[in-house]
């Protein structure tokens, strides 16, 4: 049997079907405005995703959690090299 459980979220450890756990600290609301403008916001598992979307693990961005933007169905993790292009 493989040791890695694929039915578990790799970032928060929740079983599939369970709500994801928030594993990062809530950011300051003010610090999110700039990130929303750039459409790059951290998800609740510390990935970067689009302001209204969720990362590939299914964690919504903090902007969605804090009801600053309407959630979309977009599921995308923004890789590091994209972020550094600014």
Q: Determine the interface stretch with Zn ion among 8-16, 28-36, 66-74, 78-86 (rule: CB under 5 A).
A: 8-16
Q: Which of 32, 47, 52, 69 binds Zn ion (CB under 5 A)?
A: 47
Residue 63 makes contact with Zn ion by CB under 5 A: no
**Residue 51 is a binding residue for Zn ion (CB under 5 A):** no
**Nearest distance in Å: CB 10, Zn ion:** 8
CA atoms within 13 A on the CB side of 29: 5
């Amino acid at each position: 049997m493989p040791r890695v459980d694929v039915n578990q979220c790799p970032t928060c450890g929740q079983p599939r079907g369970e709500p994801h756990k928030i594993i990062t600290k809530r950011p300051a609301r003010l610090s999110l405005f700039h990130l929303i403008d750039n459409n790059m916001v951290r998800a609740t598992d510390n990935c970067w995703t689009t302001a209204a979307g969720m990362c590939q693990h299914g964690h919504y961005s903090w902007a969605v959690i804090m009801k600053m933007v309407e959630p979309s169905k977009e599921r995308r993790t923004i890789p590091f090299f994209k972020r550094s292009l600014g």
